[in-house]
Chains A and B, each alone.
Chain A
Amino acid sequence: MGKALLVCRLAGRDIRRRAAESFLLLLVIGAAATTLSLALSLHGVTGHPYEQTREATVGPDVVVNDLSSPQAKSLLDAPGVTGHSGPYPVAVAILRARGITVVAQAEGRDQAPAPLDRPKVTDGSWVRNDGVVVERSFADALGVGVGDRVTLNGRSFRVVGTAVTAASPEFPQLCQLGCFGGLAYRSGVSPRDTGLVWLTVTEARSLATSATPLTYTLNLKLKEPAAAPAFVTAYEDQPSNANISANMNPWQSIRNVDGLLVADGQTVLLVGTWLLALLAIASLAVLAGGRMADQSRRVGLLKAVGGTPRVVAAVLLAEYLALALIAAATGLVAGRLATPLLTGPGAGLIGTPGAASLSATTVELVVASSLAAALLATLVSTIRAARTSTVRALTDSARLPRRRRSVVAFSARLPVPLLLGLRLAARRPRRLLLSAASIAITVTMLVAVLAFHTTAGLKRYGGTSGLRDR
């Protein structure tokens, strides 16, 4: 009890006495803990907005796109199918708005609500003559809203509403599950810049050309929605269906595409966590090394009054472990608060992501990793301090510098500032190595962040920047 009090007291007081250094240590471990906490918390939260959208829009279990003919009797009669909507005509058209040229899948819809896939109007109203409804994430990317005008294959339409659907991925992921890219290539547009609009059936039909004939979309409801992937596989594997040209997607695939960016974020965060953990270890080792040198007299005194090497090590380690614990707690809270920023549902979905899963495993992993990082980084310095001769520690005598003939000979030819710098650096090769590692990891992280930023931009906008920036 007495020893525990002593260890805590000495650790606590030293943290307070060296507040700036302690804050730096806290920052380094805290950053790694936050990233890890974020990566772990993101797991499994991305499906919630899609599911809310699916419920609100009576989302289909299977979407069949690119049907070449409205005749889809074999699909409607397939075992397990309990309902459907469509087939709806879809024309692929060039859409121009605000000086931007993209490709639109123009889906013809009745004005009456469909039994399956009823896009939820988030602004304005549903389709009517000369009026189009633009899928919300597509509208956001184009920068258009209700009242604006767009052209489809040269015909002008008024935007009468924006809506969301669970039957197709949000922009610019629409073509992730396959779509017709011929028109896009011919028009010099990236097929990834393809979005979804709804208009009346008559107007959708009128947009078809010989080069881009109408296709059809059919929405199916299954007896067992969870078995949708198996239904698709079973249907496609039937030899009798080989002549039916269609692109079938279970709702789970659409959900996964909608969560793609978050999943990428999770991967990046996990990689980032590793890098940050390495950075934390290297920075901690440098900081702890310097700090231990300052603590030499303290170590000597503890030993002189009867502290065993184990007690001395406990006192020194307690400080770093306490900081690691505080950093882990901070990281967990920060991670939890930051998770919604990364799991925002996006304009193509409604609802909010589920609560970040701050499970006991996440807490244990973050705490254990923080403690391990602190332990790894400070163990060598601590053992060295605990084993130092008491007299040497008390007198706080500086360690003799290592003289390396090669360094001396080489540096002799350098200008004096460089000569001194090189020789000073060579005195502490371990610290030099760790500092170099810290810088290397930091640069790696910066490059990784920039690369991810570019990749995310490509994925999100199908190009190097958003549509509105072009």
Chain B
Amino acid sequence: MKPGSVAIVGAAETDAVGTLPGYSQIALHAEAATNALNNAQLELSDVDGIAGSGASIEVASYLGITPTWIDTTSVGGTSFLLHVRHAAAAIIAGEAKTVLITHGESGRSRVGAPPRVPDPASPSGQYERPYGVSGPPSMFTVPVLRFMRDRGVTHEQLASVAVAQRKWSSQVPRARMRDLITVADVFASPLIAYPFHLLECCLVTDGGGALVVTSADRAADFPTTPVYVLGTGESAEAPIVSQMADFTTSGAFRRSSAAAFAEAGLSHSDIDHLMVYDAFAHLPLYGLEDIGFVGQGEAGAFVEEGNTSPGGRLPMNTNGGGLSYTHTGMYGMFAIQEAVRQLRGEAAAQVEGVRTSFVQGVGGMFMAAGSLILANQRP
């Protein structure tokens, strides 16, 4: 892809995020889609491509869209980053013109959401469930003690991820958690899965978001500030966390982020703003090291010293992230939305002078990864 040849021209979340028992899951998709199309001043009939994590045929039918390009890649919370990448390729190839990517998840209220029934024949069903795993808090977290031991990360540094992100969310009216916290507050919150306390685990909320992606040559026709796609990447590792090759580094993060930098022709010093998917407090530490913003063993101190906090040199997770803003279950859509807001200059906790943003997503338990480099100027 020639960097900047595709742009995000519509982006919006549902009217509210949080606890929304009055919305079914499909209604969250639909409201997000409507808001994103209104944002771009487009009609449903303008959409020829539809993407989402699994439910896109239902969404298209519900909205009255007849798609001629479909991507239902479903690799967990990072899926939407892959949808942007795939949409960009399709638009450049002439296979789609205007792609609508939607997310809606009744993660908290479970209205019209599929039942969570573990498949006993799946790798997790065979090799994890017999040992009493109870969802992501006891699976996604398993690598961290090895990471902390081998990289010299302290418990205070792990907690400081949650503290730093709350500094951002304290400036974000839509964030679910806005009160400033200290490391002591994190330690005083209940243990969920040692070493993780409640405040080091993401929220569980309802909400949605949607994006409209099209050719950059058309971007000037829209009322919004175009957000250009400069570089993208995707990769995967093991389907279950115990088979991750090395618990101190995500191979999927490394490969997807390196691909995005190579495609964009940029280096780390060119990046003004960073979003790293934070289902749990360790993920931004892996992200900082595996993307290469800091060296191995440096991420804990980097966050603890305030480099990712308001006023720091690498603003990260500026909506408060999954820990403090919202986390429906598949958070990647919200990470992209915040990057778009920062690049448009319309974020609640706006960072001055953001020209480029790096978005790193993770799917499953270190299973899949996606990366996007976005910019508000065409190179």
| A and B are partners in one complex rather than unrelated chains | no
